[in-house]
Structure 1
Amino acid sequence: MTRFPDIDSYFSELQRLINSYDWNRAQTASSLFSMEDDHSYLPYLQVESYGSRTRRSRLNDEVFDEMTCLHLHVLYCVHVANDFVSAHSTQIQIVQLFNKEILQKRKEENWFMPIFYQLCTDLRILSKEAEDVSSQNDDGEAMTSFYEQAANCLMECYRACVSDVRTEIHSSKKVAMLNLTNQLFRIYFKINKLNLLKPLIRAIENCGPLYQEFSMADKVTYNYYLGRKAMFDADLPLAEKSLNYAFRNCPRDCMSNKRRVLIYLIPVKMFLGHMPTHRLLHDYKLDEFEEVVEAVKDGNLGRLDRALEQHEKFFIKSGIFLMLEKLRSITFRTLFKKVCSLLGGSIFLLEVFLCALSFAQVNDVDVCELECIMANLIAEKKIKGYISHQHGKLVISKKQEAFPALSSISAAI
């Protein structure tokens, strides 16, 4: 905090960094526009009335000067007034100013993008804070208004960036596409409007050589959110591919981020027949999955239900509880496979499976429901065979693998 003994030194440092017109210097300058950086806690940088005290030390660039003054007002709103609604509206002013005067007017240069990314990140964070305050103080009307305001502002910036088509890739503003898509991913997940992401995802898929210009951090983040969306869309192959990419390319020392990816990758892998090891769960402090995994592997429905109930809060908070409940079908299949393997042959009385279910502490399934469960598994190609309703029997394939590997099946949750 002592690096800026007064407000003049803060402006001087910004002046030095911005005058370089250099991407790396802009990355350093971006922290000076962050409401969470050390400088934000300095009282003389928390300015209540923008345009008074700050004007004694101006930046040469009028746009950046105005943005900086507005930023100091945001610091006052956040750290002094605790007024996140005003901070949010001021941050929108900053981003809109950046869009109008820099993104749209300064052609064939993009060195300032790291600063822009920080401004967008702070806008998203302030949206959450303002939303939380609003939900506590009003009657709940327009609960997503702050998120939607931020999303609309970011979409305006997105359109300005993608319209920069005549500039060389290395200096194009289109390099912001992925970062902005990630920001919007986060917001749309919050307000449950993932359908609005379809054109943005399509644009990333079709961006060609530009994809190589995106940072690895943005690629990891994008694949994490793309994998989550694919999981909820029941597209397990895409979910596995995207989440695998995010996990493998996330730095080893970012354990918390890798753990966050695994929370979604593990259920996807389980649906595809790949069970996580005890060591993996232990290393990433995901012991909540331990009993779930063992229950699915054993075909023990009762144990699965108890495991889900025991860690219900964690799974609901992570947004995967409903998906894990659908592991019941895989658990049924495992149990049925064990029964068939134990008895041998290809024709089995349905009563045998009812006995096995009773042994697995499932006593609320009758013959009709059992037939429905088996019929669904057969329709999903997880069992190859048919049910003889007249004779009360399950007939499984002799020529083909009656219980094919889950990874070989076109997966659907």
Structure 2
Amino acid sequence: MTSYSIGLNDYLNRLNDAHYNQNGQGVAMLLSFRQSHVMSDHLIIEKPERAVGNIIYAPMDDVVLAHLKVVKGYHQSNVLDMWRAQTTMVAAVARFMTESKEENWMLPMMNTVVLELRLQSISADAESVRVDSTKPGELLEKTADSLMTCFRVCAADTRSGEAESKRWGLLYLVNQFFKIYFKINKLNLCKPMIRAIESLSFKDQYPLSQLITYKYYTGRKAMFDSDFATANTALSFAFQRCHQRSHKNKRRILIYLLPVKMLIGYIPKKSLLLKYNLKEFMDLV
């Protein structure tokens, strides 16, 4: 049976197997609204509590029930219902993590759930402004509040050994906060996030992709604070380590890095500006 037509019990058994085997990536995929199982009509039932409870045990059952509500919202094209259910899902994941002592296999699940809440919040915020006359950015702020529950769980895990620590989830979370705070123009809220990362003994051991994102945003923050030396170091790190084929991302970094370089006396080559289609800087060199 394909994921497009997967039955509820089959779906729950697959999820239970991944959970039992502590397969974080497998659980994450089965709880993602960007995977093909969400297209199955068989996952939409009026009261799924009994079916879920027969296969999935607490506290994972609350995570799954919330995801099924996300799937229902997806089928109804209701972005606000999806966002509300995903918010519930993030809270359930935080409870699950709290009860899972001295293990961090579930971090891929957390990463997927918090990423998708942020992604959903963008369209949900626009819809809320349209139908409920809320202020732009209000749902994004509420999303940041929801993500904070997972942040606290990860930050508080100081007793586990380094390899099993949930603090390995902090950088991914902080990058999600950055994307929200920059979007709603509340850069002052980035400061405690930066302190949390900089205090970690293993801060340089995170995956390179996460470090690049972190340096990009901390560089931009330093630029706005007129700390050009820090901005130069952070943005240069992001540019130099960003994959050569990631032309779009390297260009995005240069938009902030080049003004910083110029302020400290560096004049970029025209060949660099042409390569990344940065013609707006041509008159300055």
Return the TM-score normalized by structure 2.
0.90
Partners of 2:108 and 2:114 lie apart in 1 by 10
**Does the 8 A contact of 1:18 with 1:26 survive in 2?**
yes
Partners of 1:185 and 1:48 lie apart in 2 by 37
Residues 5, 89 of structure 1: alpha-carbon distance in 2 compared, 3 angstrom cutoff: closer
Match status 1:276 vs 2:272 = no
Match of 2:77, SS?
coil
- 2:16 is matched with which residue? 15
Partners of 1:257 and 1:232 lie apart in 2 by 20
Residues 182, 56 of structure 1: alpha-carbon distance in 2 compared, 3 angstrom cutoff: closer
Matches within 5 A, 1:104-115: 104-115=98-109
Match of 1:166, SS?
coil
Residues 261, 204 of structure 1: alpha-carbon distance in 2 compared, 3 angstrom cutoff: same
- 1:249 is matched with which residue? 241
Shift in Å, 1:195: 0.9
CA deviations over 1:53-112 (Å, ceiling 9, x no partner):
x8179544333233123212212213x222211211111111111112x22221101100
Match status 1:179 vs 2:180 = no
- 1:2 is matched with which residue? 2
- 2:126 is matched with which residue? 132
Match status 1:238 vs 2:214 = no
**Does the 8 A contact of 2:144 with 2:177 survive in 1?**
yes
Shift in Å, 1:152: 1.1
Partners of 2:236 and 2:36 lie apart in 1 by 35
Q: Which residues of structure 2 form unaligned runs of 5+?
A: none
Matches within 5 A, 1:52-201: 55=51, 58-78=54-74, 80-100=75-95, 102-139=96-133, 141-201=134-194
Q: What is the alpha-carbon root mean square deviation over aligned residues?
A: 2.3
Match of 1:274, SS?
coil
Looking at secondary structure, tell me which structure has more helix per residue. 2
Partners of 2:205 and 2:232 lie apart in 1 by 24
Which letter maps to 1:26?
A: G
Residues 155, 3 of structure 1: alpha-carbon distance in 2 compared, 3 angstrom cutoff: closer
State the aligned residue count: 284
Partners of 1:56 and 1:106 lie apart in 2 by 20
Report the structure number with the largest CA radius of gyration.
1
- 1:303 is matched with which residue? none
- Percent identical across equivalent pairs? 33
- Among 190, 195, 201, the alignment partner of 1:202 is 195
CA deviations over 1:3-36 (Å, ceiling 9, x no partner):
5642233223222222112xxx312331222212
Match status 1:51 vs 2:52 = no
Larger RCO (alpha carbons 8 Å, 6+ apart): 2
Which letter maps to 1:146?
A: L
Partners of 2:45 and 2:232 lie apart in 1 by 49
- 1:30 is matched with which residue? 28
Shift in Å, 1:211: 1.4
Return the TM-score normalized by structure 1.
0.64
Shift in Å, 1:283: 3.2
